Amino acid sequence: MAFDFSSSRFKPFEKKLWLSSPTMHGEEIEYVREAYETNWMSTVGMNITEAERVTCEKVGCRYAVALSAGTAALHLAMKLAGQELYGQPAVNKGSLDGRRVFASDMTFGATVNPICYEGGIPVFIDTEEDTWNMDPVALEKAFEIYPQVKLVVIAHLYGTPGKIDELKAVCDRHNAIIVEDAAESLGASYKGIQTGVFGKYSCISFNGNKIITGSTGGMFLTDNEEAANKVRKWSTQAREASPWYHHEEIGYNYRMSNVTAGVVRGQYPYLEEHIAQKKAIYERYREGLKDLPVSMNPYDAENSAPNFWLSCLIIDPDAMCKQVRSETTALFIPEKGKSCPMEILDAILSINAEGRPIWKPMHIQPIYRMNPFITKTGSGRAMTNAYIEGGAADVGMDIFNRGLCLPSDNKMTADQQDVIIDVIKACYE
Protein backbone atom coordinates (compact mmCIF):
# COMPACT_ATOMS: atom_id res chain seq x y z
CA MET A 1 0.00 0.00 0.00
CA ALA A 2 2.23 2.80 -1.34
CA PHE A 3 5.48 3.62 0.44
CA ASP A 4 5.60 2.63 4.10
CA PHE A 5 7.37 5.49 5.81
CA SER A 6 7.14 3.73 9.20
CA SER A 7 8.94 0.57 8.11
CA SER A 8 12.67 0.03 8.61
CA ARG A 9 12.98 -1.96 5.39
CA PHE A 10 15.33 0.63 3.88
CA LYS A 11 18.27 1.73 5.96
CA PRO A 12 19.15 5.40 5.37
CA PHE A 13 22.55 6.03 3.76
CA GLU A 14 25.09 7.11 6.35
CA LYS A 15 26.34 9.89 4.11
CA LYS A 16 23.82 12.01 2.27
CA LEU A 17 23.48 11.08 -1.38
CA TRP A 18 23.18 14.35 -3.30
CA LEU A 19 21.28 15.20 -6.44
CA SER A 20 24.49 16.31 -8.14
CA SER A 21 27.50 17.47 -6.16
CA PRO A 22 31.01 18.58 -7.16
CA THR A 23 33.45 15.77 -7.99
CA MET A 24 37.06 16.79 -7.54
CA HIS A 25 40.08 14.97 -8.91
CA GLY A 26 43.18 16.63 -7.47
CA GLU A 27 44.38 18.72 -10.41
CA GLU A 28 42.05 21.51 -9.37
CA ILE A 29 43.96 22.18 -6.16
CA GLU A 30 47.26 22.30 -8.05
CA TYR A 31 46.03 25.08 -10.32
CA VAL A 32 44.55 26.91 -7.33
CA ARG A 33 47.83 26.50 -5.45
CA GLU A 34 49.74 27.83 -8.44
CA ALA A 35 47.51 30.91 -8.47
CA TYR A 36 48.15 31.37 -4.77
CA GLU A 37 51.89 30.84 -4.89
CA THR A 38 52.40 33.13 -7.87
CA ASN A 39 50.01 35.66 -6.32
CA TRP A 40 47.65 35.75 -9.31
CA MET A 41 44.76 35.95 -6.88
CA SER A 42 42.59 38.38 -8.84
CA THR A 43 40.59 38.35 -12.05
CA VAL A 44 43.66 38.08 -14.27
CA GLY A 45 45.93 35.08 -14.74
CA MET A 46 46.93 31.93 -16.52
CA ASN A 47 44.02 29.85 -15.21
CA ILE A 48 41.50 32.23 -16.77
CA THR A 49 43.32 32.30 -20.09
CA GLU A 50 43.60 28.52 -20.15
CA ALA A 51 40.01 27.87 -19.03
CA GLU A 52 38.81 30.12 -21.87
CA ARG A 53 41.09 28.43 -24.41
CA VAL A 54 40.03 24.92 -23.38
CA THR A 55 36.36 25.96 -23.52
CA CYS A 56 36.71 27.24 -27.10
CA GLU A 57 38.48 24.03 -28.05
CA LYS A 58 35.83 21.81 -26.46
CA VAL A 59 32.72 23.67 -27.55
CA GLY A 60 33.99 24.84 -30.92
CA CYS A 61 33.30 28.55 -30.49
CA ARG A 62 35.78 31.28 -31.41
CA TYR A 63 35.57 33.30 -28.18
CA ALA A 64 34.88 32.46 -24.55
CA VAL A 65 34.83 35.09 -21.80
CA ALA A 66 35.14 33.73 -18.25
CA LEU A 67 32.65 35.37 -15.88
CA SER A 68 31.58 35.09 -12.25
CA ALA A 69 28.45 33.07 -13.17
CA GLY A 70 26.39 31.72 -16.02
CA THR A 71 23.75 34.26 -15.02
CA ALA A 72 26.24 37.07 -15.63
CA ALA A 73 26.91 35.66 -19.10
CA LEU A 74 23.18 35.61 -19.84
CA HIS A 75 22.82 39.17 -18.57
CA LEU A 76 25.55 40.50 -20.84
CA ALA A 77 24.16 38.45 -23.75
CA MET A 78 20.79 40.16 -23.22
CA LYS A 79 22.43 43.56 -23.06
CA LEU A 80 24.37 42.93 -26.27
CA ALA A 81 21.33 41.64 -28.14
CA GLY A 82 19.23 44.54 -26.86
CA GLN A 83 21.71 47.16 -28.05
CA GLU A 84 22.09 45.43 -31.37
CA LEU A 85 18.34 45.30 -31.97
CA TYR A 86 17.17 48.53 -30.40
CA GLY A 87 20.23 50.78 -30.18
CA GLN A 88 21.91 52.42 -27.24
CA PRO A 89 19.34 52.88 -24.45
CA ALA A 90 18.76 56.19 -22.74
CA VAL A 91 20.65 56.68 -19.48
CA ASN A 92 19.13 54.61 -16.67
CA LYS A 93 17.19 52.40 -19.08
CA GLY A 94 17.84 48.78 -19.90
CA SER A 95 18.68 47.85 -23.46
CA LEU A 96 15.43 45.85 -23.72
CA ASP A 97 13.35 48.60 -22.20
CA GLY A 98 9.74 47.42 -22.50
CA ARG A 99 10.46 44.96 -25.34
CA ARG A 100 9.09 41.43 -25.34
CA VAL A 101 11.54 38.53 -25.44
CA PHE A 102 10.54 34.90 -26.02
CA ALA A 103 11.98 32.47 -23.48
CA SER A 104 11.94 28.84 -22.41
CA ASP A 105 9.23 28.29 -19.79
CA MET A 106 10.16 25.11 -17.96
CA THR A 107 13.66 26.06 -16.82
CA PHE A 108 15.66 27.58 -14.00
CA GLY A 109 14.80 31.20 -13.22
CA ALA A 110 18.30 32.29 -14.21
CA THR A 111 17.42 31.65 -17.88
CA VAL A 112 14.85 34.43 -17.87
CA ASN A 113 15.66 36.87 -15.06
CA PRO A 114 18.39 38.58 -17.16
CA ILE A 115 15.67 39.66 -19.62
CA CYS A 116 14.23 41.71 -16.75
CA TYR A 117 17.65 43.04 -15.68
CA GLU A 118 17.65 44.78 -19.07
CA GLY A 119 14.07 45.95 -18.74
CA GLY A 120 12.57 43.39 -21.13
CA ILE A 121 9.32 41.44 -20.75
CA PRO A 122 9.64 37.66 -20.92
CA VAL A 123 6.99 35.88 -22.99
CA PHE A 124 7.06 32.21 -22.06
CA ILE A 125 6.97 29.52 -24.72
CA ASP A 126 5.60 26.11 -23.76
CA THR A 127 7.60 22.89 -23.67
CA GLU A 128 7.46 19.90 -26.04
CA GLU A 129 7.23 16.27 -24.87
CA ASP A 130 10.14 14.85 -26.91
CA THR A 131 13.09 16.60 -25.22
CA TRP A 132 11.38 18.76 -22.56
CA ASN A 133 12.65 21.93 -24.20
CA MET A 134 11.08 24.87 -26.01
CA ASP A 135 8.35 23.77 -28.44
CA PRO A 136 9.05 25.08 -31.98
CA VAL A 137 5.33 24.92 -32.78
CA ALA A 138 4.51 27.14 -29.80
CA LEU A 139 7.39 29.43 -30.79
CA GLU A 140 5.94 29.85 -34.28
CA LYS A 141 2.57 30.60 -32.69
CA ALA A 142 4.23 33.24 -30.51
CA PHE A 143 5.63 35.00 -33.59
CA GLU A 144 2.13 35.07 -35.06
CA ILE A 145 0.87 36.79 -31.92
CA TYR A 146 3.91 39.06 -31.40
CA PRO A 147 5.53 39.50 -34.84
CA GLN A 148 7.70 42.37 -33.60
CA VAL A 149 9.75 40.14 -31.26
CA LYS A 150 13.40 39.75 -32.30
CA LEU A 151 15.05 37.90 -29.41
CA VAL A 152 14.62 34.32 -28.14
CA VAL A 153 16.30 32.69 -25.12
CA ILE A 154 16.50 28.92 -25.41
CA ALA A 155 17.70 26.52 -22.68
CA HIS A 156 18.72 22.86 -22.99
CA LEU A 157 17.12 21.28 -19.96
CA TYR A 158 18.96 18.78 -17.78
CA GLY A 159 21.70 18.45 -20.41
CA THR A 160 19.38 17.36 -23.22
CA PRO A 161 19.67 19.33 -26.46
CA GLY A 162 16.37 20.74 -27.69
CA LYS A 163 14.93 20.67 -31.22
CA ILE A 164 17.65 22.95 -32.45
CA ASP A 165 17.05 22.74 -36.22
CA GLU A 166 13.34 23.45 -35.85
CA LEU A 167 13.86 26.28 -33.36
CA LYS A 168 16.57 27.85 -35.52
CA ALA A 169 14.37 27.64 -38.60
CA VAL A 170 11.55 29.48 -36.82
CA CYS A 171 13.95 32.16 -35.52
CA ASP A 172 15.59 32.58 -38.94
CA ARG A 173 12.20 32.97 -40.58
CA HIS A 174 11.44 35.84 -38.22
CA ASN A 175 14.96 37.35 -38.18
CA ALA A 176 15.30 36.78 -34.47
CA ILE A 177 18.53 36.48 -32.49
CA ILE A 178 19.00 33.35 -30.37
CA VAL A 179 20.61 33.50 -26.96
CA GLU A 180 21.40 29.92 -26.01
CA ASP A 181 21.39 28.89 -22.36
CA ALA A 182 23.71 25.87 -22.36
CA ALA A 183 24.34 26.19 -18.61
CA GLU A 184 23.22 22.61 -17.98
CA SER A 185 24.40 21.04 -21.22
CA LEU A 186 28.19 21.51 -21.47
CA GLY A 187 29.52 18.55 -23.47
CA ALA A 188 26.15 17.64 -24.99
CA SER A 189 25.90 17.66 -28.77
CA TYR A 190 23.28 17.89 -31.50
CA LYS A 191 24.04 16.30 -34.87
CA GLY A 192 27.67 16.09 -33.79
CA ILE A 193 27.93 19.78 -32.85
CA GLN A 194 28.34 20.87 -29.24
CA THR A 195 25.66 22.93 -27.53
CA GLY A 196 26.98 26.42 -26.84
CA VAL A 197 27.43 27.36 -30.51
CA PHE A 198 23.80 27.47 -31.61
CA GLY A 199 23.07 30.90 -30.21
CA LYS A 200 24.55 34.08 -31.60
CA TYR A 201 25.48 34.42 -27.93
CA SER A 202 25.60 31.44 -25.59
CA CYS A 203 26.32 30.76 -21.96
CA ILE A 204 27.68 27.86 -19.92
CA SER A 205 27.84 27.51 -16.13
CA PHE A 206 30.35 26.11 -13.66
CA ASN A 207 27.99 26.29 -10.69
CA GLY A 208 28.66 23.70 -7.98
CA ASN A 209 26.13 21.14 -9.17
CA LYS A 210 26.76 21.32 -12.93
CA ILE A 211 28.54 18.62 -14.96
CA ILE A 212 31.92 20.23 -14.18
CA THR A 213 32.37 23.07 -11.74
CA GLY A 214 34.57 25.93 -10.66
CA SER A 215 32.62 26.10 -7.36
CA THR A 216 30.94 28.97 -9.19
CA GLY A 217 31.52 30.75 -12.50
CA GLY A 218 30.30 30.73 -16.05
CA MET A 219 31.28 31.76 -19.55
CA PHE A 220 29.94 33.86 -22.38
CA LEU A 221 30.47 32.17 -25.77
CA THR A 222 30.33 33.65 -29.24
CA ASP A 223 31.96 33.67 -32.67
CA ASN A 224 31.72 37.44 -32.80
CA GLU A 225 34.94 39.20 -31.81
CA GLU A 226 33.37 42.57 -31.17
CA ALA A 227 30.78 40.99 -28.86
CA ALA A 228 33.46 39.12 -26.92
CA ASN A 229 35.45 42.32 -26.46
CA LYS A 230 32.40 44.21 -25.26
CA VAL A 231 31.55 41.53 -22.72
CA ARG A 232 35.15 41.50 -21.48
CA LYS A 233 35.02 45.27 -21.05
CA TRP A 234 31.58 45.43 -19.43
CA SER A 235 32.47 42.61 -17.04
CA THR A 236 35.47 44.55 -15.71
CA GLN A 237 33.63 47.81 -14.88
CA ALA A 238 33.67 49.22 -18.43
CA ARG A 239 36.91 51.16 -18.21
CA GLU A 240 37.93 53.13 -21.25
CA ALA A 241 41.56 53.42 -22.35
CA SER A 242 42.70 56.26 -20.12
CA PRO A 243 45.16 56.72 -17.23
CA TRP A 244 42.24 57.21 -14.83
CA TYR A 245 38.89 55.52 -14.49
CA HIS A 246 37.01 56.98 -17.39
CA HIS A 247 33.50 55.66 -18.06
CA GLU A 248 31.36 56.00 -21.15
CA GLU A 249 29.22 52.96 -20.41
CA ILE A 250 27.70 51.23 -17.39
CA GLY A 251 30.01 48.51 -16.10
CA TYR A 252 29.76 45.35 -14.01
CA ASN A 253 32.03 43.36 -11.74
CA TYR A 254 31.39 40.06 -13.50
CA ARG A 255 34.84 38.69 -14.32
CA MET A 256 35.82 35.19 -13.14
CA SER A 257 38.49 34.92 -10.46
CA ASN A 258 41.76 33.20 -11.35
CA VAL A 259 41.17 30.91 -8.34
CA THR A 260 37.79 29.78 -9.65
CA ALA A 261 39.34 29.37 -13.10
CA GLY A 262 41.94 27.05 -11.57
CA VAL A 263 39.17 24.72 -10.44
CA VAL A 264 37.52 24.91 -13.87
CA ARG A 265 40.82 24.19 -15.57
CA GLY A 266 41.43 21.17 -13.37
CA GLN A 267 37.94 19.83 -14.05
CA TYR A 268 37.98 19.98 -17.85
CA PRO A 269 40.04 16.82 -18.40
CA TYR A 270 37.26 14.95 -16.54
CA LEU A 271 34.27 16.28 -18.46
CA GLU A 272 33.94 13.19 -20.65
CA GLU A 273 34.38 10.91 -17.65
CA HIS A 274 31.60 12.74 -15.80
CA ILE A 275 29.33 12.44 -18.84
CA ALA A 276 30.02 8.70 -19.10
CA GLN A 277 29.18 8.29 -15.40
CA LYS A 278 25.98 10.31 -15.74
CA LYS A 279 24.98 8.31 -18.79
CA ALA A 280 25.55 5.04 -16.93
CA ILE A 281 23.36 6.35 -14.10
CA TYR A 282 20.61 7.29 -16.57
CA GLU A 283 20.73 3.88 -18.22
CA ARG A 284 20.75 2.03 -14.92
CA TYR A 285 17.62 3.91 -13.84
CA ARG A 286 15.95 3.22 -17.18
CA GLU A 287 16.67 -0.50 -16.87
CA GLY A 288 15.79 -0.67 -13.16
CA LEU A 289 12.49 1.19 -13.56
CA LYS A 290 11.36 -0.40 -16.81
CA ASP A 291 8.56 -2.47 -15.23
CA LEU A 292 7.04 0.55 -13.48
CA PRO A 293 4.47 2.90 -15.09
CA VAL A 294 7.15 5.60 -15.47
CA SER A 295 9.59 6.72 -18.14
CA MET A 296 12.87 8.62 -18.13
CA ASN A 297 13.37 12.18 -19.39
CA PRO A 298 13.31 11.71 -23.16
CA TYR A 299 15.90 12.69 -25.77
CA ASP A 300 16.38 12.40 -29.51
CA ALA A 301 18.72 9.40 -29.63
CA GLU A 302 19.17 9.71 -33.38
CA ASN A 303 20.30 13.34 -33.49
CA SER A 304 21.57 14.23 -30.06
CA ALA A 305 23.98 13.11 -27.36
CA PRO A 306 22.92 14.61 -24.02
CA ASN A 307 25.40 15.02 -21.16
CA PHE A 308 22.83 13.29 -18.88
CA TRP A 309 23.42 15.91 -16.18
CA LEU A 310 20.27 14.90 -14.28
CA SER A 311 18.23 11.72 -14.59
CA CYS A 312 14.53 12.44 -14.32
CA LEU A 313 11.41 10.33 -14.46
CA ILE A 314 7.83 11.04 -15.39
CA ILE A 315 4.88 9.02 -14.12
CA ASP A 316 2.28 7.72 -16.57
CA PRO A 317 -0.93 9.77 -16.25
CA ASP A 318 -3.02 6.78 -15.12
CA ALA A 319 -0.43 5.75 -12.51
CA MET A 320 -0.62 9.04 -10.60
CA CYS A 321 -2.14 9.00 -7.13
CA LYS A 322 -4.18 12.05 -6.21
CA GLN A 323 -2.02 15.04 -5.44
CA VAL A 324 -2.78 18.68 -4.79
CA ARG A 325 -0.19 21.40 -4.87
CA SER A 326 -0.45 24.86 -3.38
CA GLU A 327 2.16 27.52 -4.09
CA THR A 328 4.69 26.05 -1.67
CA THR A 329 3.45 22.69 -0.37
CA ALA A 330 1.92 19.47 -1.64
CA LEU A 331 -0.50 16.87 -0.35
CA PHE A 332 -1.14 13.46 -1.84
CA ILE A 333 -3.31 10.46 -1.09
CA PRO A 334 -1.24 7.24 -1.13
CA GLU A 335 -2.75 4.58 -3.32
CA LYS A 336 -1.79 1.01 -4.16
CA GLY A 337 -0.09 0.68 -7.53
CA LYS A 338 0.12 4.47 -7.96
CA SER A 339 2.42 7.22 -6.85
CA CYS A 340 3.28 10.86 -7.41
CA PRO A 341 6.42 13.02 -7.41
CA MET A 342 6.08 14.15 -3.79
CA GLU A 343 5.69 10.58 -2.51
CA ILE A 344 8.77 9.42 -4.41
CA LEU A 345 10.79 12.46 -3.32
CA ASP A 346 9.76 11.95 0.32
CA ALA A 347 10.59 8.25 0.08
CA ILE A 348 14.01 9.02 -1.38
CA LEU A 349 14.59 11.63 1.32
CA SER A 350 13.69 9.09 4.02
CA ILE A 351 16.81 7.12 3.10
CA ASN A 352 18.96 10.27 3.16
CA ALA A 353 19.10 10.90 -0.58
CA GLU A 354 18.24 14.05 -2.50
CA GLY A 355 15.89 14.28 -5.45
CA ARG A 356 14.16 17.43 -6.72
CA PRO A 357 10.92 18.42 -8.38
CA ILE A 358 11.09 19.40 -12.05
CA TRP A 359 11.83 23.11 -12.63
CA LYS A 360 8.56 24.84 -11.84
CA PRO A 361 7.46 26.54 -15.06
CA MET A 362 8.10 30.28 -15.20
CA HIS A 363 4.55 31.18 -16.24
CA ILE A 364 3.18 29.98 -12.88
CA GLN A 365 5.86 31.68 -10.79
CA PRO A 366 4.38 34.55 -8.75
CA ILE A 367 6.86 37.05 -10.24
CA TYR A 368 5.93 36.08 -13.81
CA ARG A 369 2.30 35.12 -13.47
CA MET A 370 1.08 38.14 -15.43
CA ASN A 371 3.48 37.57 -18.32
CA PRO A 372 2.17 36.09 -21.55
CA PHE A 373 2.46 32.33 -21.99
CA ILE A 374 2.15 30.72 -25.41
CA THR A 375 1.27 27.07 -25.97
CA LYS A 376 1.04 25.25 -29.27
CA THR A 377 -2.72 25.64 -29.17
CA GLY A 378 -2.97 29.22 -28.01
CA SER A 379 -2.02 31.65 -25.31
CA GLY A 380 -2.92 32.03 -21.68
CA ARG A 381 -1.59 33.60 -18.52
CA ALA A 382 -2.18 31.41 -15.48
CA MET A 383 -2.28 27.63 -15.57
CA THR A 384 -6.06 27.61 -15.54
CA ASN A 385 -6.14 29.45 -18.84
CA ALA A 386 -3.71 27.01 -20.41
CA TYR A 387 -5.83 24.10 -19.31
CA ILE A 388 -8.94 25.63 -20.80
CA GLU A 389 -7.27 25.17 -24.18
CA GLY A 390 -7.84 21.47 -23.61
CA GLY A 391 -6.02 18.58 -21.99
CA ALA A 392 -2.32 18.92 -21.47
CA ALA A 393 -1.95 21.94 -23.76
CA ASP A 394 0.28 23.30 -21.01
CA VAL A 395 2.96 20.65 -21.47
CA GLY A 396 5.40 22.19 -19.00
CA MET A 397 2.80 22.17 -16.23
CA ASP A 398 2.01 18.55 -17.01
CA ILE A 399 5.69 17.52 -16.78
CA PHE A 400 6.02 19.52 -13.55
CA ASN A 401 3.01 17.68 -12.12
CA ARG A 402 4.13 14.18 -13.05
CA GLY A 403 7.93 14.41 -13.12
CA LEU A 404 10.90 14.59 -10.77
CA CYS A 405 14.71 14.63 -10.78
CA LEU A 406 16.41 11.58 -9.32
CA PRO A 407 19.66 11.45 -7.35
CA SER A 408 22.22 11.77 -10.16
CA ASP A 409 25.52 12.25 -8.38
CA ASN A 410 28.37 10.74 -10.33
CA LYS A 411 29.89 9.40 -7.12
CA MET A 412 26.77 7.29 -6.43
CA THR A 413 27.65 3.58 -6.42
CA ALA A 414 25.63 0.98 -8.32
CA ASP A 415 24.59 -0.51 -4.97
CA GLN A 416 23.30 2.84 -3.76
CA GLN A 417 21.44 3.37 -7.00
CA ASP A 418 19.84 -0.07 -6.65
CA VAL A 419 18.49 0.99 -3.26
CA ILE A 420 17.02 4.15 -4.82
CA ILE A 421 15.40 2.02 -7.50
CA ASP A 422 13.95 -0.34 -4.87
CA VAL A 423 12.59 2.63 -2.93
CA ILE A 424 10.83 3.89 -6.07
CA LYS A 425 9.42 0.42 -6.69
CA ALA A 426 8.16 0.35 -3.08
CA CYS A 427 6.15 3.51 -3.81
CA TYR A 428 4.15 1.44 -6.33
CA GLU A 429 3.48 -1.51 -4.00
Interaction site with ligand PLP (CB under 6 A) = 69-71, 107-108, 110-111, 155, 181, 183-184, 205, 207, 218
**What's the closest the beta carbon of residue 107 comes to ligand PLP, in angstroms?**
5
Q: In this complex, which beta carbon is closest to ligand PLP, that of residue 59 or of residue 340?
A: 59
Minimal CB distance to ligand PLP: which residue?
70
**What's the closest the beta carbon of residue 182 comes to ligand PLP, in angstroms?**
8
Element (H, E) at 203: strand 201-205
**What's the closest the beta carbon of residue 130 comes to ligand PLP, in angstroms?**
18
Q: In this complex, which beta carbon is closest to ligand PLP, that of residue 107 or of residue 160?
A: 107
The neighbouring-strand residues paired with 180 are 154, 202
Q: In this complex, which beta carbon is closest to ligand PLP, that of residue 108 or of residue 332?
A: 108
Sign of CA dihedral 28, 30, 36, 42: negative
Q: In this complex, which beta carbon is closest to ligand PLP, that of residue 202 or of residue 339?
A: 202
Q: In this complex, which beta carbon is closest to ligand PLP, that of residue 205 or of residue 277?
A: 205
Q: In this complex, which beta carbon is closest to ligand PLP, that of residue 194 or of residue 339?
A: 194
DSSP-based three-state secondary structure for 370: coil
Nearest CA to 125 out of 410, 411, 394, 403 is that of 394
**What's the closest the beta carbon of residue 408 comes to ligand PLP, in angstroms?**
13
Using a 10 angstrom Cβ sphere, with 0-12 exposed, 13-18 middle and 19 or more buried, the burial of residue 408 is buried
**What's the closest the beta carbon of residue 37 comes to ligand PLP, in angstroms?**
27
**What's the closest the beta carbon of residue 24 comes to ligand PLP, in angstroms?**
18
Query: What is the phi/psi pair of residue 58, to 5°?
Result: -70, -50
Calpha distance 219→70 (Å, rounded): 6
The neighbouring-strand residues paired with 217 are 69
Nearest CA to 421 out of 292, 277, 280, 276 is that of 292
166, 172 Cβ separation under 8 angstroms = no
95, 77 Cβ separation under 8 angstroms = no
Sequence letter at residue 235:
S
